[in-house]
Structure 1
Amino acid sequence: MSDSVKIGDVAIGDGLPVYVIAEIGLNHNGSVENAKKLIDVAVEAGAQAVKFQKRTPDIATPEHMKATPRETPWGTMTYLEYRYKVEFEQAEYSEIDAYCKEKGVVWFASPWDEPSVDFLESMDTVAYKIASASVTDLGMLRKIKATGKP
């Protein structure tokens, strides 16, 4: 067992400098411009990485919640509609990837379902963060383990 792991090119472990990961999650509200502002703040604060969340809304939204009305910045919509509104896809993550490279910070995400792991692998993310709600999703955990990434 190794005493350290690598996220990108940086070793993390006992006796090594602190590695700061800024949580962006869904705080971008589905806006790449907001995400870029959050990335800027993270870089200014000294973070080496930023972390997002990735979901397949139709899979990750509980059935009993899908049709539940929710007040959002865009008005009332179903919880499922809201989940789709704040979810980034290929184009948005490609823009975020390029922006993070420009700013010298890495990004990765917490996947919430197996297709999201496949998506993040297609984006060649450097690591995964397991959401506490996902610690019992053995299929997803096995899929993440198979990537060989921390």
Structure 2
Amino acid sequence: MTDRFAYPLFAAVLVALAVYGVVRAITHARGRRLAWAAVVVWMLATVFMTVRPGTGRGVRLNLVPWPDGRGSAFDAILNTGVFVPLGLLLATLGWRLVLALAAGLAVSLTIEVVQYVSDLGRTADVNDLITNTLGAGIGWGAAWLLMSLRSRPRGG
């Protein structure tokens, strides 16, 4: 699949999963199978997009957080957004924040290690670890907020 189609399709999948997570949070949906299926879809789509050949050559590694700013802000926003659906879904499955953050970090670390050890022309980047984990936390927090707002008794 060419990048021309892969990126828009990936974005559409992420938006659909995020919307599903928000709906689950608002409605306090009980079904777990569909939510776990959504997590699997997120995982497969994310792995497909991050562990495939890039445009660079050789093994590249960045261990310096926020190095020079060129493209960093845009990448940070994108990387954060990719992991928001994971946090949303895990929160609606009843995961605690610490576990959702650990899952985001573990998935991100796995992706970065694979990018580093395989010669895919991609950069293994500490900034990705930070922003991906942040995205999982933001997604979890958004779901928690929506679930807690829905749980409040309506006063009058």
Q: What TM-score do you get using the length of structure 1 for normalisation? A: 0.27
Q: Which has the higher contact order (CA 8 A, sep 6+)?
A: 2
